[in-house]
Amino acid sequence: MSKLHRDHKIVIIGAGASGIACATKLLEYGFQNVLVVEAESRLGGRIHTIPFGDNVIDLGAQWCHGEQDNIVHDLASKHGLLESTGPVYENYQCVRSNREVLPESVASRLKAIVGDSLVTRQLELQHCSGSLGSYLANKFYEMLRRPENADIDQIIAGEFFDNYQKFENSVEASDTLEQVSGRGYLDYWECEGDILLNWKDKGFVELLRLLMRSRETEPDTEMDLGILEQRVLFNSTVAKIIWNRNDARVELQLSNGDSCVADHVIVTVSLGVLKEQHLQLFEPKLPVAKQRPIEGLAYGTVNKIFVEFPQAFWPDDWTGFTLLWRAEDLVDIRNTPRAWLEDVFGFYRVSYQPHVLAGWIINANGRHMESLQPDEVLAGCMYLFRRFLHWHIPEPLSFRTSAWHTNPHFRGSYSFRSMDTERLGTGASELAQPLTVVTMTPQSPGRNKGGPQQSRCDKPIVQFAGEASSEHYYSTVHGAVEAGWREAKRLADFYGLSETTTTTTTTTTTTTATTRSQL
């Protein structure tokens, strides 16, 4: 735990993956007066590993997505922390609301149809002027009309596609696929290799330990902060960022009345928080060029439901099951308080948790679930199990859900590219642009004192990181980490430092001389 001093060199807002990556990288560059301000009582942000069942579960980020050009994989694989999840989200069963399990001969063909669209969409979406939803619907039903698929029941195919759209919404964090830009979908670059690498029985929190070089502690004990010890201020919400001071510095006001001044502030809060608070948070208001990406980039909610049973009641060869609603059953449930269950699209096995199922829920119903009492949510899940499955369902041992939207420090799960993003002509690169002031080039141990005289330059005073600022790896932890490193490098470049540089206090040339405290 750190204390807030009046004067800081660099303050990072947010101790999620991006903030932690930025802070630790700044220390590697030689910066010492670095403080991380975190609104929650814990590290990790949207990485949230908790004890559950036989070991742990991740309420937020769960998998390392890909191997090649993935910095998370680079960091973790050398320590043997990752393992393939296998085809859990490919070999699932399709179960209808009348307890009918689709024959494998039918389910595999329907999966192949959507699988074929995955292959062709990379080329065809380049010329798409509409939404991802329109493209996928047209593609699915076009392929369904082919002679070789004429024997597939159209009603069952429709139920399958409705469920598939929910799955795709969980990938994008969109409410509907009509929101998602077809062309914008291609902004995301998938890292080659296994895209569902789990953290065995440790959880994604292991990445934070790697970044901080901290020792492992028990899941229910206080986390060792490693090289960030005494550099993180918990339970501290930033209420105001004043960035037009005459001394080319930034003032931070906290909600508890405390304040400090910094040379540089790096904002790593979620896009959801920026959307909700930027008009009140920044003084003066952000320039229109900064407001546009905040408003244009999209941000949504995906929630998880974990249920632990005394023993597995599902067959050994079932990796999971998706819920296909018949039209008449949907009509019935939509007129009840359980209408939100429509958007729980499936339950799947959890690695290293043999008695646990993980359910996924999307859109407005996922947000609505957060407002319900835990007993009501669990009762809804048991209703689904007993409605769709023909086995005896034992009473669960434990139960936990995520709640990313109602938490004011997140307001959702992750970002995506919407039709509004395309309409406004904005993107992650605009969000990543810092606010700057004109000042003199700084003197630092990294610059040659016998070199050129100081000149005027743009000093970054407010910078932006986080997954939403990643141009091609948005919505992922590796995108968040790279964004944090990007902003650390921006400051290192400004001061002429490299990762091998060791420095004490670097100073900027401003209109007022100041004394900087060391942390």
Question: Domains in the chain, start-ordered, CATH in brackets?
Answer: 7-45+205-297+416-509 (3.50.50.60), 87-193+302-403 (3.90.660.10)
Question: Using CA atoms, how far apart are residues 279 and 275, in angstroms rounded to an integer?
Answer: 8
**Taking 80 as the threshold, does the pLDDT of residue 392 lie above it?**
yes
296-316: per-residue pLDDT in tens? Answer: 999 999 999 999 999 999 999
How many Cβ atoms are within 10 Å of 13's Cβ, its own excluded?
26
- Using CA atoms, how far apart are residues 503 and 497, in angstroms rounded to an integer? 9
CA 282/CA 259 separation, integer angstroms: 14
User: What pLDDT does residue 485 have?
Assistant: 99
Above 60 in pLDDT, residue 503? no
For residue 454, name the pLDDT band (cuts at 50, 70, 90): low
Predicted pLDDT of residue 44: 98
Evaluate whether 185 touches 55 at the Cβ level (below 8 Å): no
42 touches 59 (CB < 8 A): no
- Cα angle at 201 between 199 and 205, to 5 degrees? 55
What pLDDT was estimated at residue 115? 87
The answer to whether 432 and 87 are in contact (CB under 8 A) is no
- Cα angle at 98 between 97 and 102, to 5 degrees? 80
Residue 120: the pLDDT is 82
The SS3 assignment for 124 reads helix
Distance CA 58, CA 327 (A): 34
**pLDDT over 80 (residue 508):** no
* 15's tokens: 């101790």
DSSP state of 91: S
Q: Which amino acid is at 355?
A: H
Q: Contact, 82 vs 199, CB < 8 A?
A: yes
- Which has the closest alpha carbon to 487: 3, 36, 39, 77? 36
Q: Among the listed ranges 48-52, 63-67, 122-126, 176-180, which one has the minimum average pLDDT value?
A: 122-126
The C-alpha atoms of residue 29 and residue 24 are separated, in whole angstroms, by 9
Confidence of residue 418 (pLDDT cuts 50, 70, 90): very high
Q: How is residue 470 written in tokens?
A: 């990643």
pLDDT of residue 513: 26
Integer distance in angstroms from the first to the last C-alpha of the chain?
11
- Six-digit token string for 369: 């679930």
| Runs of H (alpha helix) within 173-265 | 205-212
Q: In what order do the strands lie in the sheet with 398-401?
A: 93-96, 320-324, 344-350, 353-362, 302-308, 398-401
Does 224 have pLDDT greater than 90? yes
Q: Give the span between the Cα atoms of 53 and 398, in whole angstroms.
A: 8
Which pTM does this prediction carry? 0.93
